[in-house]
Structure 1
Amino acid sequence: MMAPEEGSYWERACQFFRSTGFAESEGSYFIHNKNTETVKIGIRRQISVSVGDGNVSRTVDGQTTIIDTSRSDQPVFKIAESLLRKDAPCFFVVSPDMHRRSADNSIPQIHLVQPVLEFTFSPGKSCGEVTYAQDSRGQQQGEAMLIAFPEQPAPVHPHHAFDLRPFSELAAGWVPDEDDESFLHRLKDAVSILQEHPDGKMALTRAYERESATTRSPFELYELHARRNGEYACSHFSCIRKNVFSLGTTPENVAEISDRTLSVDVVAGTCRPSDSDAYLARELLENPKQIREHRSSLTNRQNRFAPFCEDGSVHVVREMRMKRLRNVCHLHSAFSGELLPQVTLFDLMGSIFPLLGARPRELLAVADPELTPHRYYGGVVGHLHLGSGGCFLNIRNALLKDGSIHAKVGVGVIAESDAYSELIETRDKLSGLLEAIQLWEEPVPSEI
């Protein structure tokens, strides 16, 4: 499936979010979990907790308090968890820069938001329902908003918008933090070093930036990106603060929890998309390099989460199937486990960084020279309510900040990698986002 079906619960949720007038209000969020077929929409910030620049702050009803953590021996994620309402849902976005020397201190590195109202859209509730309200008055207001939302015909999206565009056209106007020659040199160095580490892997990233060339709503960009991006696991849109928006579509979760059962996606191994099953089988399912990279990632991910699960409960539930996105295809596996008592999603998040790093860890300095902030790329984004929810690897994403657009892309390199092929892979991965941005900036009102 290349896009959500027109007229689906997702389309209906998008129409409703736009109609509320809160899409560009601080603290609002829209998160679509395709794994569970749910859209969560939060409006009107009740509580937010932010960590950044050495501070932990909590904002309630517009009043911000700096939290003194100097005497606490708790990990920062557990401190943040303790500052939330236990009965309220929570949307969060986390930057990997909290563990790097390069960070953009104008945005929080951990940001958690609890709304006054939350709505849920799903196949069984395509007209939406209020699934959280701060009080009975809020419940009534939320229900009234759903009743007042008029039935609307599904939008018709022009077929030409789905034609693939060359990367050279898409990248026009973008400024990379390093040119192709420099990045290719880094890739070659990484492959050379990995010859002495046959079981090793390094994630190399590159950044792009440009000024925004439109005044259209940032949520319209999210819609274009999500509508076109195929079998993603989760997409999100959030207003972090005035004129700062995070959005993206990711192919994999990092961890999801439901009734104490942990579910984890593993997406590793990439090729270009094709309608030919024979081509995809040859490039992914029968390719020794892709298989080894994938199995290595699967083993590493299982080892990472096993300490949080009951002994013997971790097992693979899906092994090396193809996940089709618009611009790339991946090998996808999944495993599950039964969590130990008292383990929460915040315990898991405290143990997972860096998600895009290096094995063995001493190669991290080579993989990540720490020249440019990741911002939210390579971190996690997610949603949690009453102990159930999930966090997702935040890739194929953008940060819109005060008129600028920031994007990053990465590749996993192993000893068998070909440096030039990895360079091309960064273009393939990034092209979906750049394509959506190009369409968003075109002055065509009928696009949405």
Structure 2
Amino acid sequence: MRMMKLSLLSLAIAGTTLSHAALAEEDFSKVFTQAKPILDARYRYEHVDQDNALKHANAQTLRTRVGVQSGKWYGLSALVEADNVSRIGDASYNETRNGQSEYSVVADPDGSEVNQALLRYDHKSGSAVLGRQRINLDNQRFVGSVAWRQNEQTYDGVLGQLKPITGMTLTYSYIDNINSIFGPGNGRYDNKTNPANIEGHSHLLNAQYVLLRDFRGAPQLTLTGYSYLLGLDNIAVSGAAALGSLSSRTTGLRANAAVGDFSVVAEYAQQKDYADNPQELDSDYYLAELGYTFKGDALKGVVMKAGYEVLGGDEGPGNRAFQTPLATKHAFQGWADIFLTTPADGVKDAYVGATVPLLGGSLQAWYHDFRAEQGSSQYGEEINLSYAHPIPGVKGLVGLVKYASYDADDFAVDTDKAWLQLQYSY
């Protein structure tokens, strides 16, 4: 197994930091006595109503997660956790593996899987992680764990972080397998756009530097440069496209600034083809976002944001638009998940919204206007609403009500989605 080579390399590197004399000084039993259990249970009801021939979907699922985080021994620790996703009641939805294609999709297949299994080494100058792990980089626009779905996306590989000077973090990760949200297994109803495991060789490079801080030490200006080289062998951008058509090299720069009560984000990236992608890619990504946090008594804690995000299209044959196959996509371009695959003509998303503390909980409201990046098509509009609140009397239990409504114009169909959720975390 390719992971064995990574294991030997990581252990050799870690071993150079530990002398035989030092190993005798610390009690190995701390690995067990300071271990912490992991317990998380999430019940969700999801309803999908689309203006097409598909039947309305009604899905009830329970995601149960159990595991253990060990204590540290000279910076070394381990973590193991397993997930089970179980359907409750009738399977009146298409979970991509059950063959219920007459229903709308709710992409939460049943099954059990090892979610994370890793060794970690922490040092004052950085860290290294080996094994199956959760990876979230920056705001998860390009690399994330897709934690919204019941089966989380995790990565098999190695990740190292180095902090050579104050304020700088250098991250590198090598990945040879991605456990997608469509797992844990394939079956007779999967296709080349939704494999349970995405195979290939990918390299993630990310360099972040905090240039300015305020008097309290909070970052005021942070620059992040990145290059994500994705070799994704057994997945395609569409059912008609060739395998490997999502392999890409995305290189960009992100700037976050805080000025008084305002926040500003600006980002640019370029995407090219990589590895064995049979298509020639050349598209751009832009983001500009302005936020404001109210400090007065009447609106204290309210955060408003407005932004403009562009994923470029391409006039060539097939879909060669800017894609984000490893992103936590549900957090972007509306909760109805209409644009999980960027259309060939690209997407321009103008959005505005607010997060409001309310009665001990958090209310969110967002509006999106979607248009084609190439041509004059107006795709549609979307409204998102949610409210989350801790459940009184039960520590760690949180309730969520959520709604998304997409009003189609020149793309897709009218789509309404609603969620009721209870999540307990120990």
Q: Shorter-normalised TM-score: what interval?
A: under 0.3
Which of the pair has the greater relative contact order for Cα pairs under 8 Å at 6+ separation?
1
Larger proportion of helix: 1
State which structure, 1 or 2, has the greater radius of gyration over its C-alpha atoms: 2
